[in-house]
Amino acid sequence: MADPRFYNRLGLLSLEEIAALTGAAISDSGAAKQVVESVGPLNTASTGQLSYADSEKALSALPDKDFQGVVIFTRPELGEVLTQKGAIVLSHPSPRAGFSKALASIFKIKSFDQKEAIHKGAIIPSSVIISPNVVIGEGAELGESVTIGPGAAIGPGCKIGANSRIGAHVTLLCTEMGENCNILSGAVIGESGFGVAISPDGLVDVPHLGGVVLGNNVTIGANTTIDRGVFGMTRFGDDCKVDNICHIAHNVTVGNNLVMAGFSGISGSTTLEDGVMFGGRVGLSDHIHIGKGATIGSNAAVMADVPAGETYAGAPAQPIRNHMREIAELRRLVRNKTKTKKKS
């Protein structure tokens, strides 16, 4: 469910209303008046929850799951399989798009709906230093001796641990951070990520109803962005150091002691264990796993899992010894070709 610190529930929708809103067909007409109680991904689906399944692959990953009473947007050809598993099916040619339209009518992120710059409902100790032109939303909670730079915006419900520093023009939304964090100027933490559903009617934005959690002693560089989760949290452990102009997508999970050089990016739902180190301009694919203590060389494009303790480089990335052998072999081939041309 969407965290009530960050999101408002707009109301309860029945399956009949969802079908009218999205153009879906209900598999069980007797369930038309049933109200959706919660929303979430398929792997955590329970009775009364609204989810979606847009491929056989999504279902095959959960072969033994009971979908009794779960409301699922899915393609017409997958409807029978889900019905047999007890689900109430909303048949739609683009399940993710239909699900997203329904979601946007059930939850909405809390915005700065306030006349005063600092909301009266914010919790701000006397030791906090607030620069000019700062906006702080309802229910935000600041720890002792926090410093907020000029022009920063702290969204409703956000929590900032003691002795943390928020730089100029930083934006925090749907974020909870620990103590002694340092967020440099222009960073944006907790905005919606790049989620787009394709439908016959065009592109539909996928609402992000999660948040961001940062541990203690985390530094986030200038103009770096960290997206909130679609469901659940994008997470950073303690003592992570992220350089300027980096991007971390939704639902990424990072352990402790990450070191990430500038212009690097991590795609959605990727997991990094403790002690991972990046050179500059590294790119990681989505849904992969980077093992404990792994090192990724500059300009690497990582498309698959990296084992713990390994050093990878290249595009696509591979163990650095293999990468260096390939470079050496290419240079040898070029030299030989050059010699052959001179002789001829």
| pLDDT given for residue 343 in this prediction | 67
Alpha carbons 160 and 183: distance in angstroms, whole number: 11
- Give the DSSP letter string of 186-233: T-EEEE----EEEETTEEEEPP---EEEE-SS-EE-TT-EEEPPSSSE
Q: Exposed, middle or buried: residue 236 (CB in 10 Å: 0-12, 13-18, 19+)?
A: buried
| pLDDT given for residue 281 in this prediction | 97
| pLDDT given for residue 200 in this prediction | 83
- Residues classed as catalytic: 250
CATH class of the region 129-320: mainly beta
CA distances to 4, 156, 341 from 120, rounded to whole Å, are 18, 11, 79
CATH class of the region 7-109: alpha beta
Give the dihedral sign, CA 135/227/277/328: negative
pLDDT tens, the chain, 344 aa long: 689 999 999 988 999 999 999 999 998 888 899 999 889 888 888 898 999 998 888 888 887 888 999 999 999 999 988 998 899 999 999 999 999 999 999 999 999 988 899 999 999 999 999 999 999 999 999 999 999 999 999 999 999 999 999 999 999 999 999 999 999 999 999 999 998 998 888 899 999 999 999 999 999 999 999 999 999 999 999 999 999 999 999 999 999 999 999 999 999 999 999 999 999 999 999 999 999 999 999 999 999 999 999 999 999 999 999 999 999 998 999 888 777 766 66
| pLDDT given for residue 344 in this prediction | 63
Q: Encoding tokens for residue 307? A: 């084992």
Q: Where in the chain is the domain with CATH 2.160.10.10?
A: 129-320
Q: Encoding tokens for residue 281? A: 């301009």
Alpha carbons 279 and 91: distance in angstroms, whole number: 46
Q: Encoding tokens for residue 92? A: 């739609």
CB atoms within 10 A of CB 274: 17
Q: Where in the chain is the domain with CATH 3.40.1390.10?
A: 7-109
Alpha carbons 335 and 342: distance in angstroms, whole number: 11
Residues 261, 245: contact at Cβ < 8 Å? no
Number of alpha helices (DSSP H) and beta strands (DSSP E) in the chain: 5, 37
CB atoms within 10 A of CB 329: 10
| pLDDT given for residue 337 in this prediction | 76
